[in-house]
Structure 1
């Protein structure tokens, strides 16, 4: 099967692919909205948001890191991370570049595991990940 690239599809192909995948959409939806729905259905991360406004705080630009989230035998879905209303769907087992704020959310996303013998509680990362490097 050939790889699907929704970025290069014309409107007719987008609509046909959506119908083939069973993706519901309004017929007056923009091409970008339809592309995002297809990416979601295919388990791909959403397209990066394009910010056309010039940044007034270039000196306070957030650090970026390349990370990899550990794969999970039970859960194959991308890990959703939200920071101040902006969402990322991070695929497990793939190196991705994210802002420092996403790394902080992942560091603070914890869950509890209980020992069945004495019910002692251990706090562990909900989404174990590794920082590969800082990106410049």
Structure 2
């Protein structure tokens, strides 16, 4: 029952964050129409899924953190999954910024996929960042791995 409540409360918290986030996105959309500055909206649309991905992994991360012990960072997971996802997230808004305007091309995958690609990439990146932190295998034998 305790485990059920733990996950249920996390589900409710994530639902609340989604609700508030969608409300904020609607307000930002309305605000962006006035000066016709879409860059803040593009940044929000790209980065909000990263926050949701972090929230989705947080319950398990906290349970692992509570166990204690030495920690390590899984560079292979982060490099193979996290960095390509981060690239797609950044490319969803960076070409529209003053840094990349005019010379940084938008990947064809983002043009064809619309916001779906950057949303999924944001979720994957946020989740993989916390998933890359693991308890160190230094004290375990080969059979335990």
TM-score relative to the length of structure 1:
0.24
Higher percent of residues as helix: 2
Q: State TM-score, norm by structure 2.
A: 0.23
Higher relative contact order (CA 8 A, sep 6+): 2
